[in-house]
């Protein structure tokens, strides 16, 4: 406890970096997964290959992916960009399937009704299909957010500093306090992200709340 109070500033700055490294890939991954998931749904022949390839990417262990990134990107080994790109890959891997399945779960009758009302394809996607797929996509996003927070800490092993650095420092000095503080801060961050995504989902899907209330 006294260690924590003495190092508030350090923990806060590591927490901020950690959040940055976990959230940026989440947003990038979602931005990439939306068109890919749409494509997988639009062209059924592409569904299996897209889901299979992204699934394979997901099997690559994180530490290995962090280390291999410089070969692919030409970055330096210590560059935090490696972590961001690697986590974006994981997020896309997780979300492509979720987005495709979420869009696929929109009832055909709803689509027909929208078309009958004269809504064009593009507008139908943004105003009908996407909003109705939000609950499914958001469930996938929450899983991605929570596992991103956990994976980021591994990057401490390749020298990218964030909450995981508290683990490596504590371990090197045979000192539990920083490790425990790091674990708790990381859990809190995961919880906060999870709650934030749930909250945004509730805002984006007001009709679900109404149904719950009545």
Partner 1 sequence: MNLLWAYLSDPAHWQGGAGIPARLGQHLAYSGVTLLIAAAIGVPLGLWIGHTGRGRLLVVNLVNGMRSVPTLGLLFVAVLVIGPRLQGDLAFLAPAIFVLVVLAVPPILAGAYAGVDEVDPQARDAARAMGMTSAQVLFGVELPCALPLLFGGLRSAALQVVATATIAASVSVGGLGRLLIDGQATRDYGQMAAGALLVALLALAVDLAFALVQRLVVSPGLAPARRRAPQIPEPAAQAA
Contact residues for partner 1 (CB under 8 A)?
56, 58-68, 70-71, 77, 90, 94, 101, 139-140, 143, 146-147, 149-151, 153-154, 156-159, 163-164, 166-168, 170-171, 174, 176, 179-180, 182-183, 186-187, 190-191, 194
Question: If you search the block for the tokens 């992916």, which residue do you land on?
Answer: 65
Q: How far is the CB of 129 from partner 1 (least distance, A)?
A: 18
Nearer to partner 1 by Cβ, of 150 and 205: the residue is 150
Q: How far is CA 90 from CA 7, 119, 154, 155, 158, in A?
A: 32, 35, 14, 14, 18
Nearer to partner 1 by Cβ, of 114 and 156: the residue is 156
Q: How far is CA 119 from CA 104, 113, 129, 132, in A?
A: 19, 9, 12, 16
Alpha helices in 153-204 (DSSP H): 164-172, 176-204
Nearer to partner 1 by Cβ, of 114 and 160: the residue is 160
Q: How far is the CB of 142 from partner 1 (least distance, A)?
A: 8
Nearer to partner 1 by Cβ, of 79 and 194: the residue is 194
Residue 141, helix vs strand vs coil: helix
Alpha helices in 43-79 (DSSP H): 44-59, 62-73
Q: How far is the CB of 63 from partner 1 (least distance, A)?
A: 5
Q: How far is the CB of 119 from partner 1 (least distance, A)?
A: 27
Q: Half-sphere exposure of residue 164, counting CA atoms within 13 Å on the CB side?
A: 20
């Amino acid at each position: 406890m006294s260690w924590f109070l003495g190092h508030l500033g350090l923990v806060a700055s590591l927490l901020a970096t950690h959040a940055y490294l976990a959230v940026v890939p989440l947003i990038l991954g979602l931005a990439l997964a939306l068109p890919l998931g749409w494509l997988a749904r639009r062209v059924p022949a592409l569904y299996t290959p897209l889901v299979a390839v992204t699934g394979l990417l997901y099997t690559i262990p994180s530490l290995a992916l962090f280390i291999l990134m410089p070969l692919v990107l030409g970055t330096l080994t210590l560059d935090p960009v490696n972590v961001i790109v690697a986590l974006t890959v994981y997020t896309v891997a997780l979300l492509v399937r979720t987005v495709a399945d979420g869009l696929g779960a929109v009832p055909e009758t709803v689509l027909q009704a929208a078309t009958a009302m004269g809504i064009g394809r593009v507008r139908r996607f943004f105003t009908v299909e996407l909003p109705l797929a939000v609950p499914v996509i958001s469930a996938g996003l929450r899983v991605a957010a929570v596992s991103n927070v956990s994976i980021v800490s591994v990057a401490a092993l390749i020298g990218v500093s964030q909450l995981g650095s508290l683990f490596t420092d504590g371990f090197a000095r045979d000192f539990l306090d920083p490790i425990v503080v790091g674990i708790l801060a990381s859990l809190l961050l995961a919880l906060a992200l999870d709650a934030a995504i749930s909250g945004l989902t509730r805002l984006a899907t007001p009709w679900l709340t109404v149904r719950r209330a009545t």
